[in-house]
Amino acid sequence: MSDIVIYGLGGLMFYQAYVTIRVARHKSYTSAQKRRQFLFIWLVPFIGAAIALAALATDKKPPVRPDKDLAPQKPKDRD
């Protein structure tokens, strides 16, 4: 085999392994969702991994906004 093909397949395997690890560490997916993602990543080479990585990027939770009730109050003047 040509060196370019071997390096290309090695790079593809590395990329898919990287995305698999990212999905495995993601906390908001259930175990069934993770299994489905793993199958998609490995059964549809490159495209499956790219879509799974894009889904991880868009799954970010919005920042928590401070509660209005917990905001510091201005001290009242004492007489």
Q: In this predicted model, what pLDDT tens digit does every residue of 27-65 receive, in sequence order?
A: 888 999 999 999 999 999 899 999 999 998 887 766 666
Give the per-residue pLDDT at 43: 94
Give the per-residue pLDDT at 1: 75
Predicted TM-score (pTM) above 0.85: no
Q: pLDDT by residue (tens digit) across 12-30?
A: 999 999 999 999 998 888 9
Give the 3-state DSSP-derived string for the chain, with helices as H, strands as E and coil as C. CCHHHHHHHHHHHHHHHHHHHHHHHCCCCCHHHHHHHHHHHHHCCCHHHHHHHHHHHHCCCCCCCCCHHHCCCCCCCCC
Give the per-residue pLDDT at 48: 94
